[in-house]
Structure 1
Amino acid sequence: MTGLRALPTPVTARAHGKINLHLGVDDAGADGYHELVTVFEALGTPETVTLTPAETDSVEVVGKYAAAGIPLDERNLALAAVVAFRERTGWNGRVAITIDKNVPVAGGMGGGSADAAAALVAVAALADFEDRAVLAEIAAGLGADVPFALLGGIALGRGRGDHLSRVLSRGTHHWVLATSTGELSTASVYARVDELRQAGHGADAARLAEPQGVLTALAAGDVEKLAAHVHNDMTEAAVSLMPDIARVMEEGRRAGAHAVLLSGSGPTVGFLAQNAKHALELAVLLEASRGVREVVRTTGPAPGAHIVE
């Protein structure tokens, strides 16, 4: 039939939130940034981003964690990713972006980074652009966690966390995540890390050593050994800013979690379970804990950013 315009074809991509199985943080450098050694694990908490060709750029946020205060301009990492892609490649399209949020906001789980990674994969598909190495370079310019959200799985990160190498891992990890009734900004936690160290607290120079215990446990598929070696240098700083985190952690220990781990800069706390049944038992016990907004059961590792057919 003539005279009808074809509807624009949307492209949908998905990326996942993460937890840091190990997070070693060096002192701030002259540029104010902290060198890191970290082991990322992508979790089954997805961010789904749909790009539809349009006359102007726009952002809409829907889903479980759609919240007031999420920016809808170029401060939004999904739109920032599209803009960066245009600048790098010369593609001149405009898109309407819909983000279906299933990663808790401001919880240290990298939901915004997952948005950016998913948007990069989606806009590359719209533009028929296949150079994944260029996408990784664009991702590194958007934020320290974006390259990992693009890669997925389990990876060792250095520098600002964006110099990545894949890690051998066996089996599935069962996690229970306790989101917080409060929020912490990443910048404030890093600043508190610096304050505590100036006062004589914190880890020594070994903080940037290879996390060999975590890597060995992952390769062996040994959950109990992994639980014995997970670590986050930011825990003391986050707890000092939000004492309820310590109470939630203690509730998890009493409930029998194999490991209790702050997620990134917090305030979400991850609890490592032996299996799905153990995760369910932990979740039930944690749901009534003070300072907990909600409890989420999930597994890892999850894949990197990819197109959803």
Structure 2
Amino acid sequence: MEILLDRLANSVSNAEDLEGLTRPLLELLELVTGLESTYLTQIDEERGVQHVQYARNSSGLQIPEGLSVPWEDTLCKRALESEQMFTDDVSGCWGDSEAARQLGIKTYMSQPVRGINGGLYGTLCAASSQRVSTAASTTKVLGLFARLIAHQVEREHLLHALRSTNAELSSHALTDPLTGVANRRALILELRRRLAQANREGSMVEVAFVDLDGFKAINDQYGHESGDRFLVYIASRLSAGTRTGDLLARYGGDEFVIVTSHGDGQALRDRLEKITVGQYISHGVVIDYPGASVGLVSSAPGDTDAEALLARADTAMYAQKKARKAAR
């Protein structure tokens, strides 16, 4: 028994997931009960199905992993409803179970696996094709194992929820809430990464800085809600004009940045300026927009300063803005 407890302690302390905990417990359960098959089930009461998640079979009786049976036909449901967690006369006690009859189960015991809120996750079971008597204390051991599994299930649910929440928070932290594109922080982080990669590979990074000329007048004339809708519209147009692997980010109020490694050069700037030209209609507002000013720069070998490269792109944008005004 001392060796058994040592193995139990090791299995619990070293388990990294539900399977890592359950499999040694099933082995220990076989030793404690003397029954041929030990298994953990998961129950979907809404669909009315019981699924054998993990199983250990040491003799003639085989409870296959992955087996799914109707919940209404199971010994587990009958045991829970009658609060009879052990019998060595399955046919005399629950002879109406077709699944038990097909599997040839004569001795059966189980304990529910419940979450912290009391919800039924599944059952921990042991069964045999022979009549086997067990000590009353065995049911207590089975209950202990079921509680250990329940704690692991809850732990994994909490970890999954935590990871999902962290992923969502990370996404919000790197996304512009209005337009849904990357924000300035995400832009800086990605530009630094791409500059480092370009230096390793002997390539270059291109940065297009987009400024929405006349945006202040749109806000003043039509209101900030219309201005916001216009920004969302422009973001979608710019996104449509990018290529696979490009990064589109909102840099400031009416400024966007595209980072690319495609080497489009002048063609990229022309495409972005052209794609922002057009008539915008929304909520009764009609705007004939003449297009944005776009400054384009390329990184040089050894460039590592993302902010400096953005500043150069900003300067190039203002030069383009000045040239467009002069041409009108």
Q: Which has a greater percent of strand?
A: 1
* Higher RCO (Cα < 8 Å, 6 or more apart): 1
Instruction: Give TM-score scaled by structure 2 length.
Output: 0.21
